[in-house]
Amino acid sequence: MSSPRQLLVATLGIVPYAAALELQRAAAKARLDGSLDQDLLLLLEHPPVVTTGRSTKAGNLLLDERALARRGIALFDVERGGDVTFHGPGQLVGYPIMDLRRHREDLHWYLRQVEQVLIDALETFRIPAGRNPGRTGVWTNERKIASIGVHARQWVTWHGFALNVTTDLSYFDVMVPCGIPDVVMTSVERELLEAADGACFAPSPSLGDDVRNAVIAAAGARFDLEAVPVTEADLRATVAAAVPMAP
C-alpha cells in the first residue's frame, strides 16, 4: 500500500462515534496482523458525544444518559485511558494507529510525543501552548485546549486526541472535564480572538483546515514519518480482512 516509514493520513469529515470506534479497532487489528503495514492517523469530527474512560470517577459526569440525550449528546464508555470528555463539531479529533515497536515501547513517551505534536501545531498560530505537570493534555494561558486519552495492545495504539478549534465550549458544562475541578476549556478560535485584544478580527473560514494541516505536518516531523494521504475507500479495503477488535 505504501513505502516504508510513512504516516497514512485519512481525513474523514464528520463520523458518528460508534462508526469511528469500529474503524479504529479494525485498523488496530490490521496493524497488529500486518495487513496495515504503516502507521495511520485518522482525522475527523464527531456529532456531539461524551465519552468516559478507564479512569472516570463517579460524579464527574453531571447529567445522566437521558438528560444528555435531551441535549442531543450521545454517551459511550470506552477502553481509553483518562476521565470524561466531550467531542463535537468544530473539534479536530485524531486517532493515531501506531506500532510503537517501530518507535519506542513506552506509553508515557508516546503521550508526550502526542502532546508535542499539538504544541508544535499551535505554535503555527502563535498560540503559546505547553504541558501542565502531572496532567496529560495541552494547555495555553492556564486553560486546556486539547485532551488526550489512548489505549494500546501489543504496543499498537488507538484512541488519541481532541483539539478544540471552533468548538462550542458550553458543551463541557455537562461534566468535570477530564476529571479536573475548576478546569477552564478553551479553543484555537477563542485564543485567537483574545490575542486580537479588541481589534476587529474574525478567524479565517479555513481555520479548521489550517489547523488540521498544521497537525499533520507536526505529526510527520515528530515521529519522523512522511505524511501521505489515504482515501477512506482504500483504508477500508485494507482493514476489511481484519476481525473487529473487542474492547
Q: Which of 17, 38, 15, 12 is nearest to 27 (CA)?
A: 38
- The active-site residue, picked from 178, 211, 219, 230, is 178
Residues 86, 171: Cα–Cα separation, whole Å = 7
- Whether 200 sits among the annotated catalytic residues: the reply is no
Residues 161, 148: Cα–Cα separation, whole Å = 4
Separation in Å, CA 109 to CA 112, 113, 181: 5, 6, 26
Instruction: Give the angle 53-54-57 at the CA atoms, nearest 5°.
Output: 85
Residues 216, 231: Cα–Cα separation, whole Å = 15
Pairing of β 226-229 and β 6-14: parallel
Residues 57, 84: Cα–Cα separation, whole Å = 8
Active site members: 178
